[in-house]
Amino acid sequence: MEAFEYASPNTTRDALQLLGSQWGEIEILAGGTDLISAMKDRITTPKRVVSLKKIKGLNRIEFSERSGLRVGALVTIQEILDNQMVREHYPALREAADGIRGEQMRHMGTAGGELLQRPRCWYFRNGYGQLAEYQGKSLVPDGQNRYHAILGNSGPAYFVNASSLAPALIALGGKVRLHGPDGEREVELGKFYTTPTKEGEREYVIKPNEILTEILVPPPHGLRMAVYEVREKTALDWPLVAAAVVLHMKGRTVKSARVVMGHVAPVPWPSPEAEQAIEGKTVTEEVAEEAGKAAVSKATPLSQNGYKVRLAQVAVKRAILSAMKGEA
């Protein structure tokens, strides 16, 4: 790893003073599993690392019936798993967290870091950038793309967003609170992720001089929800695809639905098509099946990842059925 200077300020305000305006010059450190690994791989070589660990209040997790859930950026995955309110009111969030494996990752990994983790794309991790460009073109379309995007992949980015929590949080209507030099702002997670068009851009709208401090999730009244992941291993690994489903029920009918897929596109991928396929309907196996099909109706698989279209379809179907489990 390159040498860097380090600071661990006590307040968000102090931390903001230490940030800069260029991505990659300064990195913000939370759990460290992704950042330190990325620094060892020279994916990022910051000259300064600003740790958030000493900032008080970022590790709080709070719930109220009226305002919903607030998860501080430094709340660990284990704390999400252990939280009784999450268990009771946001089972999909818990399921998403449960996909993050290993005692260590769960204790080190933070909610904020999980949302801001960089892509796992093996071209990226081997030093070829998010866009995997080599000799003027992307290595992905003609290369080893079994894990790459099946949606939102018209280029130049082909990687998939790696977050496990984001699809569930987006489906729940979650927001993030960002602190910057000009104060704070809230951004809907559904609008938080972007697909980079140039090398060096990041995969989200947060600016290099901003800090993600908190995740806000609206109250869960009358919702049924689930996350379904298709994985190669039970052990620590990123899923092949995932689907998060949140259903607002009216009696036995789906009044409105949110369906968001993970690991299928450079951003968490909401599917209005799937939502439409179930809204106003009573969920049956067939309805779920149709929603799955609708979710991938616009998929444009690459040379090796056609199977992920099937997996995404199945994940959406199973997430819907799982959300309805226990419904008479």
Which range, of 33-41, 58-66, 176-184, 211-219, touches another protein by CB under 8 A? 33-41
**Is residue 321 a contact point for another protein (CB under 8 A)?**
no
- According to CB under 8 A, which one of 47, 198, 255, 298 is a site residue for another protein? 47
3-state per-residue secondary structure call for the chain: CCCCEEECCCCHHHHHHCCCCCECCEEEECCCHHHHHHHHCCCCCCCEEEECCCCCCCCCEEEECCCEEEEECCCEHHHHHHCHHHHHHCHHHHHHHHCCCCHHHHHHCEHHHHHHCCCCCHHHHHHHCCCCEECCEECCCCCCCCCCCCCCCCCCCCCCCCCCHHHHHHHCCCEEEEEECCEEEEEEHHHCECCCCCCCCCCECCCCCCEEEEEEECCCCCEEEEEEEECCCCCCCCCCEEEEEEEEEECCEEEEEEEEEECCCCCCEECHHHHHHHCCCECCHHHHHHHHHHHCCCCCCCCCCHHHHHHHHHHHHHHHHHHCCCCC
Which range, of 188-196, 252-260, 269-277, 298-306, touches another protein by CB under 8 A? 298-306
- According to CB under 8 A, which one of 63, 90, 128, 193 is a site residue for another protein? 128
**Is residue 122 a contact point for another protein (CB under 8 A)?**
yes
- According to CB under 8 A, which one of 21, 64, 67, 104 is a site residue for another protein? 104
**Is residue 273 a contact point for another protein (CB under 8 A)?**
no
d(CA 303, CA 306): 7
Nearest approach in angstroms of CB 53 to another protein is: 6
Scanning residues 72 to 91, which ones bind another protein (CB under 8 A)? 78
- According to CB under 8 A, which one of 13, 42, 87, 250 is a site residue for another protein? 42
- Mark 108-123 as b/e (b = at least 16 C-beta within 10 Å): bbbbbbbbbbbbbbbb
**Is residue 187 a contact point for another protein (CB under 8 A)?**
no
**Is residue 328 a contact point for another protein (CB under 8 A)?**
no
Nearest approach in angstroms of CB 294 to another protein is: 17
Classify strands 183-188 and 223-230 as parallel, antiparallel or unpaired.
Answer: unpaired
- According to CB under 8 A, which one of 178, 314, 316, 324 is a site residue for another protein? 314
Nearest approach in angstroms of CB 209 to another protein is: 15
- According to CB under 8 A, which one of 16, 60, 98, 201 is a site residue for another protein? 98
d(CA 315, CA 91): 17
Which range, of 36-44, 151-159, 201-209, 259-267, touches another protein by CB under 8 A? 36-44
**Is residue 280 a contact point for another protein (CB under 8 A)?**
no
- According to CB under 8 A, which one of 12, 19, 28, 33 is a site residue for another protein? 33
Taking residues 208 to 247 in sequence order and writing x for each that binds another protein by CB under 8 A, - otherwise, the string is ----------------------xxxxxxxx--x-------
Nearest approach in angstroms of CB 203 to another protein is: 16
Nearest approach in angstroms of CB 278 to another protein is: 19
Which range, of 123-131, 184-192, 244-252, 271-279, touches another protein by CB under 8 A? 123-131
Number of Cβ within 10 Å of residue 16's Cβ equals 17
**Is residue 325 a contact point for another protein (CB under 8 A)?**
no
